[in-house]
Amino acid sequence: MLSTLQPPRSLTLLPFRRFHGSKTIASLASSSPTLDASFVSPPQSQILTTRRSLLSGETTASEIAKSYLSRIRLTEPQLKCFLHVSENVLKEAQEIDQRISRGEEVGPLAGVVIGVKDNICTEGMPSTAASRILEHYRPPFDATAVKKIKEMGGIVVGKTNMDEFGMGSTTEASAFQVTANPWDLTRVPGGSSGGSAAAVAARQCMVSLGSDTGGSVRQPASFCGVVGLKPTYGRVSRFGLMAYASSLDVIGCFGSTVADAGVLLHAVSGYDRFDSTSSKQDVPEFDTQFLSMDSFESKPLKGVRVGLIRETLEEGVDSGVRSATQEAASHLEALGCVVTEVSLPSFSLGLPAYYVIASSESSSNLSRYDGVRYGNQVMADELNKLYECSRGQGFGGEVKMRILMGTYALSAGYYDAYYKRAQQVRTLIRKDFKAALDHNDILISPAAPSAAYKIGEKKDDPLAMYAGDIMTVNVNLAGLPAIVLPCGLVEGGPSGLPVGLQMIGAAFDEEKLLKVGHIFEQTLKGSGFVPPTLPNVA
Amino acid sequence: MSTTLFRTIQPNHFTLLTTALLRTRTKTSRHISVRCQTSTTTQQPRTSAPKNHGSNKLDEILKDYEAVIGIETHVQLSTSTKAFCSCPNSYGSHPNTSICPVCMGLPGALPVLSSKVVDFGVRLGLALNCSLSLKSKFDRKQYFYPDLPKGYQISQFDVPIASGGYVDVDIPLEFGGGHRRFGITRVHMEEDAGKLLHSDAGDYSQAMIVSKLDLVDLNRAGVPLLEIVSEPDMRSGVEAAEYGSEMQRIVRYLGVSNGNMQEGSLRCDVNISIRPIGQAEFGTKVEIKNLNAFSAMSRAIDYEITRQALLYNQGQADKIVTETRLWDEGAQKTVTMRKKEGLADYRYFPEPDLPEVILTQEYVDSIRASLPELPEAKRRRYEAMGLGIQDVLFLANDVSVAEYFDEVIGKGADVKSAANWLMSDIAAYLKNEELSISDVKLTPHELAELIAAIKDETISGKIGKQITDPVEIEKMIMKVISESPKQLEQYRSGKTKLQGFFAGQVMKMSKGKANPALLNKILLEKLNAKE
């Protein structure tokens, strides 16, 4: 079942469509072999390929691990995706090889090299959420998602960089380092899961875990040209995920293909008795969606109703992004989908509501970082000083700002005007999504209003940065699943910058997103979004 | 769990818990301690005031005022685990041995509610005649303190599990007797905080930290509590103490807590204000903490009523301020612990890590059906059986005594006799031997048979009992000796076998109920005494 993905044969199924955005890189594409659609085959699942080659004896887990470690050594100085690289990678790989050589069963993720965002607890491995206040902190337990990965044979290669506690959209708010975008080293990878997205884009790991509170998986996936999957709230246990905004946080998956993101999601999904907000909904076998190209019918998505969210193509969205989204819609039509425009009247209310709720919850969730039991403590001779100094020196500026905003919003006399009102907006947004999804199987929109921007460009303009979350936050408020996958390139960088398409599904219907996403990806000409700064990538 | 935990956490955490952590306290609390001193000195005359005034004069003053008392009771539940993790809920363990990532508030840890807590909440809510919220929720109460690992307490704010109930109590005869009904505002579920251990100060209170070295013990963090808030219906120390005792009886009858005040399983905080009789508005409210016995509660309240009444009377009502006061058992007075500077803003908001608590009617009904007979029902039943109020209060006070009594009368024993046996002989024996009724070898069945035998005059009622009072035995001995001078002389001249004669006479006089060992011991002393 896992080997249903056959090597692609041809791309004759659909007429080739170029991206006609005002600033597409059609001209660049012809000069760059990596982007010339006629030479690029559809991307292959690395997890499934690994499994096949391990079981057939074609290669060993140790060889795979070594090649990834050497890639990391080679590229890390420029990219800075990782805050910590595990010392146990080779040892774990050798254990898998020994099991295979002894003829023992290995888990479905055996030998899969996985990056884990630094706000997800890994036993004995530093887990700091990229914050000074947790520098050197090593948790005594694995997050449930990590535990599942390990049980299935996955190898955690290291901890990826992020905006401190998930607060940011560029990964510049990390207390330790700034991660570069593999497509253009002067640009941000997006955030907050920027390290996880860039590491997959740069093939430093096969897949990675991120977390998504307001778009922190989807926006960096878009910026880095990889697949980012934000599951339904409750699909994946949050146990071991350092809370930013508990009612919005989900652990999400990155891969270079839809299949990879889907297989990883399947591995980490399911009810967990340690997280009362995790769902008991069945987790279907997503793998069956990842059929090979040659089994596609001429209109493989016939009858699938797709709603293009009108509000996401209005003012404030780059024209290149807009046209790439429209191209994607045409592509879906060509695959048999019925695409219509839908309106979400509450769409623009989401951003302020999101920032009120997320800040409020974070002001509470981050109270535990007081320097008393763990983390960095500044010694003081009185209690308030101990708190002030430990937190004052431990938290970065963005975190402090959000704690202050949240504290304010929850204060007596303001609660009704802010927090309560934001919750009302949330209910409204849920209703609007529900109505739109009653008439459509999926909704589509851009993943972000623009492609990756320059490092430092929005650092001193938080409102501009927050505005960039407009495409994604509503989905968190509604708790719905969404996938972002590359759909085109716009001008910028040495050879163009990727743009992601967001597909939003009904609650717990990741299956449909993966199916549509996979077919979209496998049939998209010009696919194979491999960063130009990384030569010799298989 | 804890050892693994500390081993895997970076080493300096370990030192955090074992070395100086909080050097003394905050500037503000220092100010408080200064103020505390001044206020105690200025209070000195007031404290002694009750003595200076003649008690008649004091009574005159008190007559003009009415106290308004409300009580917040925290009941620590006797669940096997903590409220939101599976750590054992055990009192008196070595510090920080009953902790895990959840109750330590480690990053990424999440609470999971133990269903037993809801169970107990519903039981208590029903026992207090409350209406239950079929849909309630948890909220976060936020403040910083080192014994609060997450920086917030998981509690219930605007939708408690139970509300709008009442409790009926009987005031003991020695305090005037009578029946009272006190309103219950609400019952809600929450978690306890840890404890600060101070190197030199006693385990006094959170804000009275006067130590150089402070340590945190998180064994208690996350232990489930039910907080019961009363209406401001009590008017005196006695009423408040009786309310408290009734809470203790109820939680023990229900088996939701051991209700032990010394261990802190039952903690009462009293809110008290006074107002001139006839005034509708409440006066300024003062909170009293550190009450570890109901007698202390009664005395603390009466002290506080007097203190406030005198201030009123002296035209210094403005000196009654919103504050928390402590009961100082040694000095028998209340002292300022901390003044409240404005209302604390706990920034409550719904706990996003926990789903709503949904109760079905079937579930509530099944719990209602499983409730035991409660103290008030027992008292009324005993009363209806013809027992006097003193007997009733005694028997219903302790659930195991009540159960024993019920078993005895269940075997058909005469009610009044059974009550007498339990209240006099058995109670005295238990008190002397420091035993509880469950330690008694005499089964309820045997006691019932004994009572029946006495009633049938198969045996005399007095045979059933033994005289163990040495004074009474000695009296009888002296009487026998003085009535038998001849035998005494013979005994003293060597005929010691006559001891048996004396013993027999005393036994006869006591109608066979003198304790033989005691009898012989005292008899020998008397016979051998040199004149």
Tell me what ipTM this predicted complex has: 0.91
Considering chain A, what percentage of its residues have pLDDT values greater than 90? 80
Judgement on whether residues B400 and B522 belong to the same structural domain of the protein = no
Contact between chains at B142 and A380 (C-beta distance less than 8 A): no
Residue A374 lies in a domain: no
**Measured between alpha carbons, how far is A34 from A175 in angstroms, rounded to an integer?**
35
pLDDT over 90 (residue A120)? yes
- Stated as kind and residue range, the H or E segment containing B84 is none
Judgement on whether residues B88 and B120 belong to the same structural domain of the protein = yes
Residue A427 lies in a domain: no
Residue A402 lies in a domain: no
Distances (CA, A) of A481 to A218, A475, B143: 11, 7, 35
- Residue A476 and residue A213 in contact, taking contact as beta carbons nearer than 8 Å: yes
Residue A444 lies in a domain: no
In chain B, which among 101-130 make CB contacts under 8 A with chain A? 101, 104-113
Q: What angle do CA B296, B153, A211 make, to 5 degrees?
A: 170
Q: Which residues of chain A are within 8 Å of residue B22 when distances are taken between CB atoms?
A: 382-383, 386
Judgement on whether residues B78 and B192 belong to the same structural domain of the protein = yes
What is the mean pLDDT of the segment spanning A304-333? 95
Taking the Cβ of residue B369 and every Cβ of chain A, the question of whether any pair is shorter than 8 Å is answered with no
Q: Which residues of chain B are within 8 Å of residue A415 when distances are taken between CB atoms?
A: 347, 349
* CATH assignment at residue B487: 1.10.10.410
Model's pTM, two decimal places? Answer: 0.85
**Chain A residue with minimal CA distance to B112?**
A276
- Residue A488 and residue A324 in contact, taking contact as beta carbons nearer than 8 Å: yes
Judgement on whether residues B352 and B479 belong to the same structural domain of the protein = no
Contact between chains at B142 and A384 (C-beta distance less than 8 A): no
* CATH assignment at residue A270: 3.90.1300.10
Residue A133 lies in a domain: yes
Please tell me the distance in Å from A61's CA to the nearest CA on chain B.
28
Range of the domain at A149: 46-296+453-523
- Residue B310 and residue B46 in contact, taking contact as beta carbons nearer than 8 Å: yes
- Looking at the 3D structure of chain A, how many domains does it have? 1
pLDDT value of position A380: 83
Residue B178 lies in a domain: yes
pLDDT value of position B210: 38
Please tell me the distance in Å from A408's CA to the nearest CA on chain B.
9
- How many helices and strands (H and E) does chain B possess? 18, 16
How does A60-91 read in b/e, with b if 16+ C-beta sit within 10 Å? bbbebbeebbebbeebbeebbbbbbbbeebee
pLDDT value of position A160: 98
- Residue A247 catalytic? no
Say which of A196, A216, A222, A360 is annotated catalytic.
A216
Judgement on whether residues B446 and B481 belong to the same structural domain of the protein = no
Mutant choice from B103, B349, B356, B358 vs A, greatest count of A C-beta within 10 A:
B349
**Measured between alpha carbons, how far is B357 from A246 in angstroms, rounded to an integer?**
18
pLDDT per residue, tens digit, chain B (531 aa), is 333 333 333 322 222 333 233 333 333 332 222 222 223 333 333 333 344 445 677 788 888 999 999 999 999 999 999 999 999 998 888 999 999 999 999 999 999 999 999 999 999 999 999 999 999 999 999 999 999 999 999 999 999 999 999 999 999 998 999 999 999 999 999 999 999 886 554 444 444 443 445 789 999 999 999 999 999 999 999 999 999 999 999 999 999 999 999 999 999 999 999 999 999 999 999 999 989 899 999 999 999 999 999 999 999 989 999 999 999 989 999 999 888 766 789 999 999 999 999 999 999 999 999 999 999 999 999 999 999 999 999 999 999 999 999 999 999 899 999 999 898 888 888 888 888 888 888 889 989 988 888 877 666 655 566 777 888 889 999 999 999 889 888 888 888 888 888 988 888 888 777 887 788 889 988 888 865
Q: State the pLDDT confidence band at A20, using cuts at 50, 70 and 90.
A: very low
pLDDT over 50 (residue A44)? yes
pLDDT value of position A526: 66
In this structure, the number of other CB atoms found within 10 A of the CB of residue A118 comes to 33
State pLDDT tens for residues A246-302.
999 999 999 999 999 999 999 999 999 999 999 999 999 877 778 787 778 889 999
Judgement on whether residues B118 and B230 belong to the same structural domain of the protein = yes
Taking the Cβ of residue B8 and every Cβ of chain A, the question of whether any pair is shorter than 8 Å is answered with yes
The dihedral built from the CA positions of residue A249, A255, A259 and A260, taken in this order, carries a sign that is: negative
pLDDT value of position B36: 27
Least confident of A208-217, A427-436, B2-11, B417-426: B2-11
Q: Which of A121, A245, A367 sits opposite B142 (nearest CB)?
A: A367
**Residue B502 exposed, middle or buried by CB count within 10 Å (0-12, 13-18, 19+):** buried
Q: What angle do CA A456, A462, A464 make, to 5 degrees?
A: 85
The residue among A332, A340, A341 whose CA lies nearest residue A301 is A332
In this structure, the number of other CB atoms found within 10 A of the CB of residue B512 comes to 14
State pLDDT tens for residues A152-189.
999 999 999 999 999 999 999 999 999 999 999 999 99
- Looking at the 3D structure of chain B, how many domains does it have? 3
Judgement on whether residues B391 and B479 belong to the same structural domain of the protein = no
Contact between chains at B109 and A372 (C-beta distance less than 8 A): no
DSSP-based three-state secondary structure for A339: strand
**Measured between alpha carbons, how far is B188 from B156 in angstroms, rounded to an integer?**
6
Q: Which residues of chain B are within 8 Å of residue A274 when distances are taken between CB atoms?
A: 110, 112
Q: Which of A241, A361, A415 sits opposite B352 (nearest CB)?
A: A361
Mutant choice from A273, A368, A407 vs B, greatest count of B C-beta within 10 A:
A368
Parallel/antiparallel/unpaired status of strands B65-76 and A497-504: unpaired
Range of the domain at B397: 373-456
Strand partners, A486: A500
Please tell me the distance in Å from B195's CA to the nearest CA on chain A.
13
State pLDDT tens for residues A358-392.
999 999 999 999 998 998 888 888 888 999 999 99
Q: What angle do CA A105, A108, A109 make, to 5 degrees?
A: 115
pLDDT value of position B288: 96
- Could you tell me the maximum CA-CA distance found in chain B, to the nearest angstrom? 93
- Residue A30 catalytic? no
Residue A397 lies in a domain: no
What is the mean pLDDT of the segment spanning A103-107? 94
Contact between chains at A367 and B150 (C-beta distance less than 8 A): yes
pLDDT value of position B459: 65
DSSP-based three-state secondary structure for B326: strand
Judgement on whether residues B414 and B515 belong to the same structural domain of the protein = no
Taking the Cβ of residue B72 and every Cβ of chain A, the question of whether any pair is shorter than 8 Å is answered with no
**Measured between alpha carbons, how far is B354 from B137 in angstroms, rounded to an integer?**
8
Residue B447 lies in a domain: yes
Give Cα A106 to chain centroid, integer Å.
27
Q: Would you call the peptide bond into A27 cis, given omega within 30 degrees of 0 as the criterion? A: no
pLDDT value of position B199: 57
Judgement on whether residues B490 and B404 belong to the same structural domain of the protein = no
Taking the Cβ of residue B55 and every Cβ of chain A, the question of whether any pair is shorter than 8 Å is answered with no
CB pairs under 8 A between A and B: 142
Residue A382 lies in a domain: no
A422-428 long-range CB contacts below 8 Å, 24 or more apart? Answer: A422/A352, A422/A353, A422/A354, A422/A356, A422/A357, A422/A360, A423/A357, A425/A346, A425/A349, A425/A350, A425/A352, A425/A353, A425/A477, A426/A353, A426/A357, A426/A477, A426/A478, A428/A346, A428/A349
For chain B, the straight-line distance linking the first and the last C-alpha, in angstroms and rounded, comes to 73
Say which of A127, A192, A196, A450 is annotated catalytic.
A192
Mutant choice from B17, B106, B346 vs A, greatest count of A C-beta within 10 A:
B106
pLDDT over 60 (residue A531)? yes
Inter-axis angle of helices A421-439 and A350-365, to 10 degrees? 120
Residue B117 lies in a domain: yes
Contact between chains at A372 and B101 (C-beta distance less than 8 A): no
pLDDT value of position A305: 98
Please tell me the distance in Å from A383's CA to the nearest CA on chain B.
5
Contact between chains at A381 and B23 (C-beta distance less than 8 A): yes
pLDDT over 60 (residue A538)? no
DSSP-based three-state secondary structure for B141: strand
Please tell me the distance in Å from A66's CA to the nearest CA on chain B.
28
Q: Which of A127, A276, A369 sits opposite B354 (nearest CB)?
A: A276
- Stated as kind and residue range, the H or E segment containing B322 is none
- What's the Rg (C-alpha) of chain B? 29
Task: Name the phi and psi angles at A424, rounded to 5.
Answer: -65, -40
Which residues, at least 6 apart from B441, have a Cβ–Cβ distance to it below 8 Å?
A: none
The residue among A496, A477, A478 whose CA lies nearest residue A486 is A496
Q: Which residues of chain A are within 8 Å of residue B5 when distances are taken between CB atoms?
A: 140
**Measured between alpha carbons, how far is A146 from A114 in angstroms, rounded to an integer?**
10
Please tell me the distance in Å from B352's CA to the nearest CA on chain A.
5
Q: Which of A140, A381, A419 sits opposite B101 (nearest CB)?
A: A140
The residue among B114, B35, B99 whose CA lies nearest residue B335 is B35
- Stated as kind and residue range, the H or E segment containing A195 is helix A194-201
**Measured between alpha carbons, how far is A503 from B436 in angstroms, rounded to an integer?**
70
Judgement on whether residues B130 and B167 belong to the same structural domain of the protein = yes
Q: Which of B17, B23, B28 sits opposite A380 (nearest CB)?
A: B23
Q: State the pLDDT confidence band at A411, using cuts at 50, 70 and 90.
A: very high
Contact between chains at B113 and A364 (C-beta distance less than 8 A): no
- Residue A192 catalytic? yes
**Residue B360 exposed, middle or buried by CB count within 10 Å (0-12, 13-18, 19+):** exposed
Judgement on whether residues B73 and B156 belong to the same structural domain of the protein = yes
Judgement on whether residues B132 and B263 belong to the same structural domain of the protein = yes
Say which of A45, A62, A86, A117 is annotated catalytic.
A117
pLDDT value of position B8: 33
DSSP-based three-state secondary structure for B66: strand
In this structure, the number of other CB atoms found within 10 A of the CB of residue B201 comes to 16
Inter-axis angle of helices B485-492 and B470-483, to 10 degrees? 100
Q: What angle do CA A290, A292, A295 make, to 5 degrees?
A: 115
